[in-house]
Amino acid sequence: MVMGDMELNTELLVIGSGPGGYAAAFRAADLGLDVTLVDPRPRPGGVCLFEGCIPSKTGLHLAELLLDTRHAASQGLHFTEPRIDLAEVRAWKQQVIDSMADGLVQLARKRGVQLIQGIARFEDSTTVRLEHSEIRRVRFRHAVIATGSRPLAYPGRGFRPGSRIMSSSEALMLNDIPARLLVIGGGYVGLELGTLYAAFGSKVQVVEMGDRLLAGVDLDLVAPLRRRLDGLFESISLRTRVTTMQEGENGVEVQVQDENGGLENRFFDRVLVAIGRQANTADLGLNKTAVRLDSRSFIQINDQQQTADRSISAVGDVAGGIMLAHKATREGRVAAEVIAGEKSSFDVRAIPAVVYTDPQIAWCGLTEELAEKDGVPVAVQKFPWKYSGRAQTMGASDGFTKVLVNPEDGRIVGVGVVGRNAEGLIAEGVLAIEMGALAEDMALSLHPHPTLSETEAEAAEIFIGSPTHILPKKIGKS
């Protein structure tokens, strides 16, 4: 690497240091490449670490504690109302973020990855110009674009600092606990943050334009969550759209319209707009390269993460598909391996997804809805948690585990879980699908008792006709 006249040459420039970008940089460095990682933030981590996965889960961990103390009343434990010190909560959240971010800086240093602060913009297919940086220009042999995504604003309204109309980023700052919070959008970000604020004491209303919460998730998985949310939130309005928002000194007046055209004015202290995310491609100068975008401005890639420009790859949210951190990380590693000349591709059968609500929902592989849409025959084996000893001991018997099996060859093609610790349970499903496991493999692998993991084995046992805690189908029918 030669640095001079504020210019720098590097073999691989990674633009954006979120989980896609830093994974690409680290893997490439491990494979012997000279790597430079640029981001406006001084430390790696991206949206996931600073305003996404990690701060939301520190908050949701506390929400879970709070909700657990309430559920515990039905089991004989009566807590007094907790005192919430928001300043301490914020400090704890920051401590978690700092510890992770500092760890990533150390990992970068030890690998010899050069971290540069700045905003990159392409001048051509081998050069970027940096703004807000000590370095003016970087010339590269290869570049990986990992610039992620940003929250979509409500049409006609950007997000302003200090505004009562927030994106998830501002909501996660936890500046206050609004007495009345409107969440626009019934996707996972809206429901997770709605849960967080409701547990902390806000009266939460959700409005969703579509006819369901968590579009794309099987309806049966959503049903137990919906029942719980009906108790936790003040209201959930489906097929309802926000028509106007007037922000005043004391709050936001919102007009909503239901499916019949009926208008209603509601008043909130804060509004969270969680209606989706858009790719960070607009200001990258991609017109100076051969990179192509799709109709929604995501970068088009092949399964080796290569764009239409030979020297440029793209990974993570900016490359579209499922916008989750673990997908970004895998793509980052694949991009690095391909650039280093290894045989590698994004060859993943099951991308797991988790919604960290109470109860949690997790799924991987085929969903029932997708199977039906694509005409793929599946045998759906459901094990209700009311038959699970562990679920009963936790007061979590409203959950269930389902395993989707190819009826022809007995292979597991999908798994869905709703209930406590769905986040941990789904990993077995991922491994099963990746390994081409049969339902029999899952059923005959010994699962420890009493654990929720047994519900996966029990669901698989239904398929092979030998369940223990539920009657086999033919016995049940007669």
Ligand X SMILES: Cc1cc2nc3c(=O)[nH]c(=O)nc-3n(C[C@H](O)[C@H](O)[C@H](O)COP(=O)(O)OP(=O)(O)OC[C@H]3O[C@@H](n4cnc5c(N)ncnc54)[C@H](O)[C@@H]3O)c2cc1C
Q: Does 365 bind ligand X (CB under 6 A)?
A: no
CA 97 to chain centroid, in Å, comes to: 17
Active site residue 61: no
Q: What values do phi and psi take at 434, rounded to 5?
A: -60, -35
Name the E strands within 263-399: 263-268, 270-273, 277-279, 312-314, 353-355, 361-365, 379-384
Name the E strands within 202-340: 203-207, 235-237, 241-247, 252-257, 263-268, 270-273, 277-279, 312-314
Q: Which of residues 305 and 381 has its CB atom nearest to ligand X in the complex?
A: 305
Which residue of 8, 15, 312, 470 would you call a contact of ligand X, by CB under 6 A? 15
Contact set for ligand X, span 123-162 (CB under 6 A): 146-149
**Residue 317 near residue 20 (C-beta atoms within 8 A):** yes
Q: Which of residues 61 and 203 has its CB atom nearest to ligand X in the complex?
A: 61
Contact set for ligand X, span 179-198 (CB under 6 A): 189
Contact set for ligand X, span 244-263 (CB under 6 A): none
Stretch of residues binding ligand X (CB under 6 A), selected from 42-50, 232-240, 260-268, 361-369:
42-50
Q: Which of residues 47 and 62 has its CB atom nearest to ligand X in the complex?
A: 47
Q: What values do phi and psi take at 128, rounded to 5?
A: -120, 150
Q: Does 285 bind ligand X (CB under 6 A)?
A: no
Q: What is the torsion angle, in degrees rounded to the nearest 10, for the CA atoms of residue 166, residue 205, residue 63 and residue 101? A: -20
Helix boundaries (H) for 212-298: 219-232
Q: Does 38 bind ligand X (CB under 6 A)?
A: yes
What is the Cβ-side half-sphere exposure of residue 348, based on CA atoms within 13 angstroms?
Answer: 19
Min dist CB 466 to ligand X, Å, is 36
Q: Does 47 bind ligand X (CB under 6 A)?
A: yes
Min dist CB 298 to ligand X, Å, is 11
State which H helix or E strand residue 360 sits in.
none
Contact set for ligand X, span 318-357 (CB under 6 A): 318, 323-326, 328
Could you say which of 61, 71, 142, 449 is catalytic?
449
**Residue 37 near residue 116 (C-beta atoms within 8 A):** yes
Min dist CB 274 to ligand X, Å, is 8
3-class secondary structure, 269: coil
Min dist CB 141 to ligand X, Å, is 18
Tokens 């499922």 belong to 322
Task: Say whether the peptide bond before residue 450 is cis (omega within 30 degrees of 0).
Answer: yes
Q: Does 271 bind ligand X (CB under 6 A)?
A: no
Min dist CB 36 to ligand X, Å, is 11
Q: Which of residues 202 and 406 has its CB atom nearest to ligand X in the complex?
A: 202
Which residue of 8, 9, 12, 18 would you call a contact of ligand X, by CB under 6 A? 18
Q: What values do phi and psi take at 290, rounded to 5?
A: -95, 10
Binding string to ligand X for residues 306 to 325, with x set by CB under 6 A, is what? ----------xxx----xxx
Chain residues that interact with ligand X, rule: CB under 6 A: 15-21, 38-41, 46-48, 52-53, 56, 119-120, 146-149, 168, 189, 280, 284, 316-318, 323-326, 328
Which residues have a catalytic role annotated? 449
